[in-house]
Structure formats: structure tokens, C-alpha cells
Structure 1
Amino acid sequence: MKKIREYMEEEIRQAFLEAGYEAEYGKVTLSNRPDLCEYQCNGAMAGAKAFRKAPIKIAQEVAERLKDSRWLKEVSVAPPGFLNLTLKEESLAEYLGRMQREDLGLTQVEEPQTILVDYGGPNVAKPLHVGHLRSAIIGESVKRMSRKMGHRVLGDIHLGDWGYQMGLIITELKQRQPQLPYFQEGADDFPEEAPFTIGELEEIYPTASQKAKEDEAYREEALEATKQLQYGHKGYLAIWQHIMKVSTADLKKNYDRLKVSFDLWRGESDAQKDIPDMVSWLKKEGLAHMDQGALVIDVAEDTDTKEVPPCMIQKSDGASLYGTTDLATLIQREREFQPDQVVYVVDKRQELHFVQVFRAAKKTGIVGEDTKLSFLGFGTMNGKDGKPFKTREGGVMRLEYLIQEIADNMYEKISANRTVSEEEGRETAKLVGLAAIKYGDLSNQASKDYIFDVDRFTSFEGNTGPYILYTIVRIKSILARYEEAGGNLDQPVILPPAGDSEKELMLQAARYSEVMEGAAQELAPHKICAYIFELSNSFNRFYHDTRILGEEDAAKKESYIGLLCLTRQILEECIDVLGFEAPERM
């Protein structure tokens, strides 16, 4: 189904052609002066230079040919040559009727792509903290938006599960329990149960990390343990498997609380088996060369305005680096999935690293020229002091504590506003609290830093998740009362709008497919947030201006109900893509 703007564009392009100009000048956009018109076309200004004619004359000639428009009620010309466009109410109502019948007017892509979204990126053996929030929330919404448009999408957590941190844990465990079979020479029969709980594991790692900073001998032992693990030490591999099992179980529990899921639970370890062959191949083909003892790939380009260092594949001591693992991971992904696009949702401060990796992958042919590698870098989540968000004590807050704190905050507000059972109140608070967290993050452009303001994000007023949910619940309440009175919600016919607030709501609803498609193409969930905030505002103005259930004209009341059903459906589709849902009541 075409977008409503495209129907208008067809007519205006034809009008430009009939007036003797190029059709390309007939581009239609939302009005930047909604007090004057609903849409606008600025093509006359662009055509003025090419045709050496005053833009207002061109605009007048085009407007003259739109008098019998199927879609436009009014076309006016404003200096120096703007075409101000107002939609016909009948055509708008007809378009919304088609949206009711045709999946809200959303047309999925004709050629679905395979897209792999790399997000999450936590290190095992550590609890999730607020620093993991943005990658999880943004990545999940990107995955859902792309699926909504019909693409085949795989989400990969890409665990940090290989390297020095494992050597630290093994070393500390060996010091505490040297009698364990993992540390006995020649042992190859190991317990199925881990010798530690997740709580103990989370204490072991920081303890070991601190010891390594203070004791060089301890650090050397940890480095040796890391090396032995990577060379296949049976006991150390058994410990590593225990760490993975205990950690991933805890990670899944915490990501479930965020309503974030992954199709692939892969990690750095999965790419290790491809590294030796990759390094040999790069050397053999002359794609990498030695530089001061290290193996590197030159990735600098003549057009660079800043220095882009070579992508280092192997250090002088033979050790691999993050770039090595990332390239090997791309080899694995090409072999298994042949993705058309790989999206990396990571801290924007890693941009240079990914520039190096992307260029190295293209230069070596690890991925083809048609494979799109996208870097979606996000900014930091800060406290009110402008510094990275911390606990009151100054430490990094665990993610589960933040989620619980917001849920408790919402429970207090919900309980204060109405009488609900504790069970219902707690469940509602979880839903609203999650909306507060996710919307608070996603409403900001991903690349920008933002202030995590608990009081503002949990407010039921303003541009917040709770406000969006409150709007949906209000619509649900009206529809429920309509049904209780004997009304039928099975696609009521939507009539042309009779008032300004009704038409404004209908115009906002008609934009759904264009917003969803644009946000998915640009990997920009903040655009969906901006849209549903505007849609919610439009509904609430309509609600305050209109006696919906009190309307005596049955056809008009049914039309109102149809518009409410459509608005609720659009809002629910949008928040599902953003990764949260609305309760039945608040």
C-alpha cells in the first residue's frame, strides 16, 4: 500500500510535467508550518534556477493544474514559491479505511535481506550493569524494526568469553581450591556441576583482577593460565565451560527482565578456531605484512582527513587482538549466514576500531563489496551531574538494581493514584517501569549522550514511556466501555473528520507506514518515539475536544471508535518494536 504522501506526490509530479517542468520537483514533505498547511512542496524554488523563472510563477502554474485533485482540498501559493497543501477529508478517511484492512498500510520490503545485529557484548563472569543498557535496548529495537519490514534478522550477543579474564578466574580458583581435579596433572574426568555459584564467580573475578594489578607474579600466572586455556588445557577448558554455563544462565535471566533476546549466543571463543587459518591465508596472499614485529593490514585511504592506523592482526609475541577476533567472526558469519548487512551496536568511542575492521574485511575479501557493514555507535548514559550514571555510593549500578528501583518508583505512583491489589500493582509497575527505561533511552538519538533522569522518565506527563502507556490504556478503557454497552469493535467505518482535532489525529495516524519504514532504513528508533509522542498528543487533544461515547449520532460515534481502534493498534505496534508493552489499566 502506498504512503499517503506518495499519492499526493503522484498528482503534483504530473502537474509539474503538464506545466512544462521536471516531475522530480514534485516532492512532498510534511509542513514546517502546520499553522498554515498540512504538507508542502518546495520544488518551484529548485526549478527556478534551472528554468530561469521566478519560483512563484512556477508554483502558480502548478497550482492551477491541481484544481481537480483527487487528494488535495486546497493548494495555495506562498512567497517566494511554496506550494501549501491541505488534504481532502474524504480522501483521508478513505486512506485510513484501507489502513484498517491492509496491515496499517505497511508494505514489507520486496527483497528481504539477511541482517545480523551484533549487540549485547557483555563479559561473562560479570554482572550486567547500566553500561550494558544502551547496546541491549538499541540493538533489540533495531532487530525488531528490521523484522517488521520483512527482513530475516539474527541477533547475536557476542559474548566476551575468551582471554585474560578467564586466566584470572582460573588462577584465583586454583589458589583457593588447589585440590580440585581441574588442576591435577593428567586428570580428564571432571564434575558436571560448577565449583562455584554465580554470586561466588562475580566475587572471584574482581578479586583476581585487583590482585593482578598489585602482584606481578600473580599476573604472570594468570597470563600463563590464559595461554594454557587457549592451547586446550583439559582442566582449564572444563572450568571455562562451567563459567559459560553459570554466566549465560544469569545473563539470560537479566536480559529477560529487559525483554531482550538473542538468536545466537556466540562469543569471541567461537571465532578462535578460524584465526590460525585466517592468519596463514593473509600471509600467503600478501594481504597482511610485518611491521615492527607485528602482523598488520594497511587500511588508510587517500581521502582520510584523520590518521587511520593499520589493523593489527597479531602482536609481536603471536597474541591475537580484538581486530583479529572480529575479522574471524566475520569469516564465521559469512560461512554460516551470508548476511547482506551486519550491524554493530557498540559504544561510539569504538568507531576507529570498526573503521579499521570494516576496511580490512573489505580489502581482504572476507566480506564482499555488496555486504554492508554498519557501525551504530551510541553515546553514554549519564547521571544528572553529567557524568556516567552511578549508584548513590559512587559505584557502577547493576542493571537488575536499576530495573527494580524504577519498578518500585512506578509502584508507589500507581498505588497513590488508585486502589489496586499489590499483585496487579507490581505487575503493572514492571511494565510501566520498563517502558520508562526503554523510552527514556530510545527517545534520544543513539549517538548522543543523555541524562538518565529517574524523576522525568517515570512521569506520566511529557515525552515519557509512562505517558505513552497511559494514552494506550485510556483508549483501551473507552473501547471496553463501548463494548460493554453493546458496541462492536470489528473495523467500524471511519468517516471524514468534522473537526480540527479529529483531522489532526487522522493525519498523524496516516503517517505510520512512512515513519516505520524510515526508522528501519536509518536504524533510528528515536524517530518512532517522536512519532508516537506526537500521535499520543493528537489523541489526547481529540479526547478532550470530543464527546466520544456520549455522541448521539450512531454513525459518528462508530467512526470515532474506528479511529480509536486504529490509533491503539498503531501505538501498540510501535511500542512492540521499541521493546515494551502496555498494561490493561494503570
Structure 2
Amino acid sequence: MKKILDLIGAQVQAAFADAGYEARYGRVTLSNRPDLCEYQCNGALAAAKAYHKAPIVIAEEVLEKLEKLEMFSEVSAVKPGFLNLKLSGAYLVSYLSEIAQSDKLGCGPADSHRKVVLDYGGPNVAKPLHVGHLRSAVIGESLKRICRFMGDEVIGDVHLGDWGLQMGLIIEELKDRQPELPYFDENYRGEYPKEAPFTISELEEIYPAASARSKEDEVFAKRAHDATFRLQNREPGYWALWEHIMRVSVEDLKKNYEKLNVTFDIWKKESDAQPYIPGMIQRMKEKGLAHESQGALVVDVKQESDTKEIPPCMLVKSDGATLYPTTDLATLVEREELFDPDMVLYVVDKRQELHFTQVFRCAKMAGIVPDETELRFLGFGTMNGKDGKPFKTRAGGVMRLETLIGEITQAVYDKVQENRTVDEQEAWEMSGKIALSALKYGDLSNQASKDYIFDVDRFTAFEGNTGPYILYTIVRIKSILRKYAENIGGDPERAELREPVNSSEKALMLLLARFGDVMDQVYRELAPHKLCAYIYELSNTFNSFYHETKILAEQDRDRQSGYIALICLAKQVLEKSIDLLGFSAPDRM
């Protein structure tokens, strides 16, 4: 289904051509003066230079062609050469009726179907999810849903950190605590226990203790490095312990991501890329890209067009150890082999931009990915507290993600209980949905690359630009539709749109007609915050219509049917939008 802006643009371009001018001057945009018109075209100003005519003359000639079209209720030419356009009510009804009957509410599919590997989440195993993991998960989940909705095939990969020094630290700390375990007996030849020798809570205590100890105890730090090396060489006992760590950690991670309504298609990890490293490094050497520098193996990635220093990408340290760039390049080799993607998209902290610049350049130079494959870095900013510093607990520590979710849910529950119209169980279920909307919308309504202030009181407010306000609008529509069915006996599904009779009704129609254009922009720019801005405007516009219109008290049944059909479509658009953002609405609030 064609977008409303494209349809209007096609008519205006045809009018320019009929008037004897190049069609390209008929570009139409949303009006920047909604008090004067709904859409506008400024092409006559540009055409005036090419055709040596006054722009108002050109605009008036095009106006004569446009006035004959049923699409418009009003067209005017305004000095120095603007064309102001208003859509007719009949055309809006026709277009919105088509949207309501389409599978995707008039959106997509995108011009080109892509296969996308989306790298988001990225937690380290053996550590609890904390607020620092929130943005990658929330933004990545929304982008996955948006790209799929627009027709892409998306493979979401959590890409676990499971292969670094933290494993050696855990193993050595566990060895000191429980030296009798068979994993540390080099002469042990039996089967290792199926049950892990620790719980997730114990594991999460072991790592920080080991990390702190390694900073003060050089001998222990050396042991941890040696243990990491032995693990990476698949020493049986250490490998069996690693498998326990992975299983216990992943089970806990899945449980916590589920609370965020975040899922992944594959649970790949850094260790999966290890078999690809030798071949990848050999390829770099054969192409003359990798060379030694002070004992390390590096690739020069600086380009003449660089305006800032881009250091060489280090593949192997002087002591033979590989690094994050090595693993990320090997992961690209693996992804190319397994998925042959058109794009690999990384949703990562923006402070890692230099790292990914180096990795992407290496990958292209070495031919790890084809030239036409897009490697894209979407860097996000920091979630800060009211003091403007990275969000912390009251005690100054890093807050666990489940603690944050719990605090927001409790804050919402307290507000819900003030109303006291629902029982305990429903109150908690409702609070969970509202809290998730507060958390996700609070994050996604900000441009991803920018830092933002996390304010529980503001994010959980039922008024203003918040998730709960969006949900409240949806719930209000649901309530009207229930009353229409129960008290009046009407069937919302049989309601039919009618031409608008007042400005607030037409404003709602115009905004719903823009959904396809908005989604196209959100998809192209990978910008969930623009979808948030749209549904906030849509919620405000609906609520203005609601307050100015007696929907249920309307005596004219045809007119009432038109109102019901319109708010049904508003509900559909709002519900689809919040689903793309990763949350849902309760039936009442």
C-alpha cells in the first residue's frame, strides 16, 4: 500500500508536468504551518530559477491543475510561491478504510528485503544483568521488531561474553573454596557431575570476589590467567566447569530478559568464534594486511580522509593473546558462513565506536564480508541518575536490572492501589505492564545516541510524554468500545468511517494516515524515538477529539458509527506501535 505522502506527491508532480514544468519540483512535505494547511509544496520557488518566472506565477499555473482533483478540499497559492494543500474528507475516509483493511496498517514492506544479523544484549556470563545492560536490550528488541514488521528477515543474537579472564578468575576462586572438586584433579578420569557445584547467586558472588582479589594478589592474578589459557585449550575439568557456568548463567539471563519482554533467536557466544580465528589471521597475513609492531600483530586501518587519529587494529598481543577485535572479526567470519547477511547491526555503547570502526575496516579490507554488506554501529548513550551521573543504587553501587524493574513496578502498584478498583492479583499484573511501558518508553523516547536522565517519578506518571500515558489512552479507547457494545448494542467491527465533521476529528484522521510515512522513516533511520514521538502526538490528538466529541451520547447512529470506526483504527495503530516498542497495554487502568 502506498504511503499518503507518496500519493499526494504523485498528484502534485503530475500537475507540475501538466503545467509544463519538470515533475521533480512537485515534492510535497508535511506542512510546517498546520494553522494554514496540512501539506505544502515549495517547488515553484526552485523552478522559478530554472524557468525564469516569478514563483507565484508557476504556483498559480500548477494550482489550476490541482483544483480539479477530488483528493483536495482546498488548494491555494501563496506568495512568494508556496502551494498549500488540504485533503478532502472523502479522500481521507477512502485512504483510512484501506489502511484498516490492510495487514500492516498501510506499512511496508520496505523496498528491499534484507537479511539482518542484529547483535544486541551482550552480557557477560556469571554476572547479573544490571542497568548498564538495559539500553542495548531495549533498543535492540525494538529494532528487531521494527525491521521484521517492515519485511526484513532478522536474526537476533545475544552474543554472550564467555571467553575472557572472568572465567579463569571464577575457576581459581572456586578451586580455593572447594579444592576437593573433581574438576581440579588432573588424574580424574570419570564422568563429571551433571549438577553445577554452585547456584547462580553463589556464582554472582564468586566473580566480584575473585576480581577484587586479583587486583591485590599478583600470584592469584597469574593463576587466573593460566586457568583461562588452560580452559581455552579445553582442559577437561576446566571445560566441564565452564559448561556448568554457561548453563546456570544462561538460564538466569533468559529469566531476566523475559521480564523485559526481550528474546533472542540465537544465543551465540565469543567462544563460538574461536575456531575461526586462525584462518582469519592467516587471511590477514596472506593479503599483506597484518604485520608485526613491537611484537604484536596489527592491521593499519587509518584512511587519508580521517580527521582524527585511528590507531592500528591489534589482532594478537606480544604475549600471543588475542583481543576483542580478533574475536569480533572471527564472529563476522562465522556470521558470513552461517547467515550470509545483507547487514550486521551492532547495538552497543557509543563509547565503543572506535573499536567498531577498526573492526569494520579490517573486515572490508580483508574481504571477510563482501563490499555490499552493510556493517552498522548504532551507539547508545548513558542512562543517568538525577545527578547527571551514571545511574546507581542509593548506596552508590551498580543496580541490578531486576531490582530496577521491581522498584518501578512497586511505584506503579502504589499508584494503582490509590484507585482501589481492582483486586490484588490484577493490580500486580496491571502494574507489571505499566511498569514495563514506563521503563521502555522512558528509554526509547530518547534518541539512542544521547544520554538521558532516568526519573522514576516522571516515567511512571499517567500524564505527559510517558509510557503509562500511552497505555491510558489505549485503555480509554477500549473502555469506549466496551460501553458501545454493552450499552448501545453496537458492533465496533461493523462500524464504518464517515467524513469528518469537525477539526479534531479530521486532525485524528490526518495523523492516522501518516502512520506509513512515520514507520518508513523509523525503519530507514533505525529510530524508535520517532515512533514514540508519533504515538505521543497521536494520543494527544485522540484525547482532544475525545474531549470535544460526544461519542457515546451521539444520537445520529451513522455519525456515531464513524466515530467508533475511527477510534478502532486509532487503537490498532497505538497497539501495533507499542508492540514494536516491546510492551503491551492492560484492559483497564
Alignment TM-score > 0.5, same fold: yes
Partner residue, 1:149? 150
- The aligned amino acid for 1:51 is Y
| Counterpart code for 2:130 | H
Q: Report the counterpart of residue 193 of structure 1 in structure 2.
A: 195
2:8 is the alignment partner of 1:4: no
Q: How does 1:69-468 map to 2 (within 5 A)?
A: 69-103=69-103, 104-109=105-110, 111-188=112-189, 189-468=191-470
Q: Provide the secondary structure at the position in 2 that maps to 1:346.
A: strand
Question: How many angstroms apart in 1 are the aligned matches of 2:293 and 2:79?
Answer: 63
Contact 1:40 1:83 in 2 (8 A): yes
Percent identity, aligned pairs only, is 62
- Structure 1 runs not aligned, ≥5 long: none
Tell me the TM-score normalized by structure 1: 0.99
Secondary structure of residue in 2 paired with 1:490? helix
Residue 65 of structure 1 aligns to a residue in which SS? Answer: helix
Q: Is this contact kept in 2: 1:72–1:86, CA < 8 A?
A: yes
- Return the offset for 1:483: 1.2
Per-residue CA deviation, residues 285-331 of structure 1 (Å, 9 max, x unaligned), is 32312222111122111111111111111111111110000000000
Confirm or deny that 1:563 pairs with 2:566: yes
Moved more, 409-418 or 106-115: 106-115
CA distance in 2, matches of 1:393, 1:365: 49
Asked if the contact 2:447/2:527 (under 8 Å) is kept, the reply is: yes
Could you tell me how far apart the structure 1 residues matched to 2:207 and 2:80 are?
Answer: 68
1:506 is aligned to 2:481:
no
Amino acid at match of 2:141: E
Post-superposition CA distance 1:525-577 (Å, at most 9, x none) = 00110000011111000000011011111111111110011000000000000
Q: Using the alignment, how far apart are the partners of 2:450 and 2:49 within structure 1?
A: 38
- Partner AA of 1:76 in structure 2: S
Distance 2:50 2:241 in 1: 72
Cα distance in 1, alignment partners of residues 346 and 68 from structure 2: 50
State the distance in 2 between where 1:379 and 1:50 align: 45
Which sits farther off after the overlay, 182-191 or 535-544? 182-191
Displacement, 1:436?
0.2
Q: For residue 397 of structure 1, report the CA deviation from its aligned partner.
A: 0.7
Deviates more, 1:49-58 or 1:340-349: 49-58
CA distance in 2, matches of 1:59, 1:322: 59
The answer to whether the Cα contact below 8 Å between 2:283 and 2:366 also exists between their aligned partners in 1 is: no
CA contact (8 A) 1:378 1:446 kept: yes
1:70 CA drift (Å): 2.6
Query: Is the Cα–Cα contact under 8 Å of residues 44 and 59 in structure 1 kept in the other structure?
Result: yes
8 Å CA contact 2:273–2:334 kept in 1: the answer is yes
Q: Which amino acid in the other structure matches residue 502 of structure 2?
A: G
Change (3 A) 1:496 1:272: same
Query: 1:233-282: CA deviations, max 9, x gaps?
Result: 11111111110000000000000000000001011111011111211222
**In structure 1, how many angstroms separate the alpha carbons of the residues matched to 2:510 and 2:419?**
33
- Aligned 8 A contact 1:12 1:26 in 2: yes
- CA 1:288–1:491 in 2, change beyond 3 Å: closer, same or farther? farther
Q: Which residue of 2 aligns with 1:584?
A: 587
Q: Say whether residues 1:548 and 2:551 are aligned partners.
A: yes
CA drift at 1:491 = 4.2
Displacement after TM superposition at 1:25 (Å): 1.3
Structure 1 residue 57: Cα displacement:
2.5
Q: Tell me whether 564-573 or 80-89 shows the greater mean CA deviation.
A: 80-89
Mean CA deviation greater in 40-49 or 409-418: 40-49
In structure 1, what is the Cα distance between the partners aligned to 2:462 and 2:493?
31
State which drifts further: 104-113 or 36-45: 104-113
Which residue number corresponds to residue 23 of structure 2? 23
| Superimposed CA distance per residue, residues 366-417 of structure 1 (whole angstroms, 9 cap, x where no aligned partner) | 0001101111000000011100011111111100000010011111111112
Structure 1 distance, partners of 2:137, 2:494, is 37
Shift of 1:418: 3.8
1:574 corresponds, among 565, 572, 577, to 577
**Residues of 1 paired with 2:56 and 2:581: CA distance?**
43
Amino acid in the other structure paired with 1:449: D
Q: Output one character per residue of 1:56-96: Cα deviation in whole Å (capped at 9) or x when no partner.
A: 22222222221112311111123332211111111011111
The one-letter code matched in structure 1 to 2:321 is A
Moved more, 363-372 or 310-319: 310-319
Q: Distance in 2 between matches of 1:284 and 1:209?
A: 39
The within-5 A match list for 1:465-544 is 465-484=467-486, 485-544=488-547
Secondary structure, counterpart of 2:117 in structure 1 = strand
- Is the 2:119–2:346 contact (alpha carbons within 8 Å) kept by the matching residues of 1? yes
Q: TM-score, length-normalised on structure 2?
A: 0.98
Query: What root-mean-square deviation, in Å, do the aligned CA atoms of Structure 1 and Structure 2 show?
Result: 1.1
CA shift for structure 1 position 426: 0.3
Residues 490-532 of structure 1 show CA distances to partners (whole Å, capped at 9, x for unaligned) of 2421011000000000001111111112211211000110000
Residue 110 of structure 1, CA deviation: 5.2
> For 1:427 and 1:223, how far apart are their aligned partners in 2?
47
Once residues 408 and 461 of structure 1 are traced to their aligned partners in structure 2, the CA distance between those partners, rounded to angstroms, is 18
Contact 1:8 / 1:72 at 8 angstroms: preserved in 2? no
Provide the aligned length of Structure 1 versus Structure 2.
586
How many angstroms does 1:48 deviate by? 2.5
| C-alpha contact (below 8 Å) 1:100/1:491 kept by paired residues | no
2 CA distance for matches of 1:488 and 1:419? Answer: 27
Separation (CA, whole Å) in 1 of partners of 2:43 and 2:326 = 50
279-288 or 170-179, which moves further after superposition?
279-288
What is the identity, as a one-letter code, of the residue corresponding to 2:513? A
Contact 1:272 1:328 in 2 (8 A): yes
Q: Which letter maps to 1:160?
A: G
For 2:533 and 2:526, locate their aligned partners in 1 and report how far apart those are by CA, in whole Å.
14
The code of the aligned residue for 1:32 comes to N
Change in 2 beyond 3 A, CA 1:187/1:502: same
Partner amino acid, structure 2, of 1:141: S
Q: Deviation per CA, 1:109-153, whole angstroms, max 9, x where unpaired?
A: 354211111000111101000000000000000000000011110
Partner of 1:52: 52
Q: How many angstroms does 1:101 deviate by? A: 1.3
CA distance in 2, matches of 1:415, 1:80: 59
Aligned partners of 2:512 and 2:570 also within 8 Å: yes
Aligned-partner SS, 2:123: coil
Aligned amino acid, residue 410 of structure 1:
V
**Whole-Å Cα distance in 1 between the matches of residues 247 and 67 of structure 2?**
70
| AA at the equivalent of 1:458 | T
Aligned to 1:41: 41
The answer to whether the 8 A contact 1:362-1:369 is kept is yes
| Structure 2, unaligned runs of 5 or more | none
